[in-house]
Amino acid sequence: MPKFAANLSFLFTDAPFPARFARAAAAGFAGVEYLFPYDFPAGDVAEWLQAARLEQVLFNLAPGDWAAGERGLSCLPQRRGEFAESVEQALDYAMALDCRHLHCMAGLRPEGFDEAFLEETYIANLRYAADRLATVGATLMIEPINSRIDMPGYWLDDVNKAFRLQKAVDRSNLKVQYDVYHADVIGDDLAGRLTENIAQIGHIQIADSPGRHEPGSGNINFPRLFDMLDQLGYDAWVGCEYRPATTTEDGLAWLSRAARSISQSL
């Protein structure tokens, strides 16, 4: 069975952020991820991780002004300097939290620039970030996110485009973050994609589709998906980035079922 990380930006949100670490550990998670840690000193976050005996699996580079609707900087030609600063900030947190996977959001499509220039900017920024992360043994992640429902205007909204740009960047520590919910909304062939591209995928996230709730609430066959990941030899983390239909704990029956399934197969 894959190893699952709780996304604390989506799960246990009835509690303040610092309290979610202990809640995740009590629910049986060994790792956590979240969108951004930057509202808190890195030392405080490290203490919460240590107290709960959790591994920091993933977080995102700063996306610009999230509250104002910004969703990343890396495709924006006019924000190159700010992007470089976000890389250094993320590196500081990564070292403090012993986190070796960082997601770089592309951003919303800006007006007034042609596609070729946006790709050129994106590739240059990713090469810079990947090279900086390589100095601490970290991997940079890029994720195709659907622009139809969840993030209108998001520039990297195509799975094929993500894999093509990963190849163009040509850095061994750049991987694709494959969110099966976003991929399903986009219309990707989940089984085919995983089978063909598992070596290029460095992190997987899950939510059912439609609805973006816990596994078992929609149309994705998660038992088959988890079996496939085992068969493909995927040994990285699977982030639980879904919105619980009720409470987080009430929605964790899928995790218990997955654990029972694997124990019965041993």
Q: Which residues are catalytic, by number?
A: 143, 241
How many whole angstroms separate alpha carbon 219 and alpha carbon 208? 7
Those residues whose C-beta lies under 8 Å from the C-beta of residue 214, and which sit 6 or more positions away, are 207, 208, 240, 242, 244, 245, 251, 252, 254
Are 22 and 16 contacting, i.e. CB atoms less than 8 angstroms apart? no
How many whole angstroms separate alpha carbon 224 and alpha carbon 226? 6
Q: What is the DSSP letter of 157?
A: -
Encoded amino acid at 122, one letter: Y
Q: What is the 3-state secondary structure (H, E, C) of 85-113?
A: HHHHHHHHHHHHHCCCEEECCECECCCCC
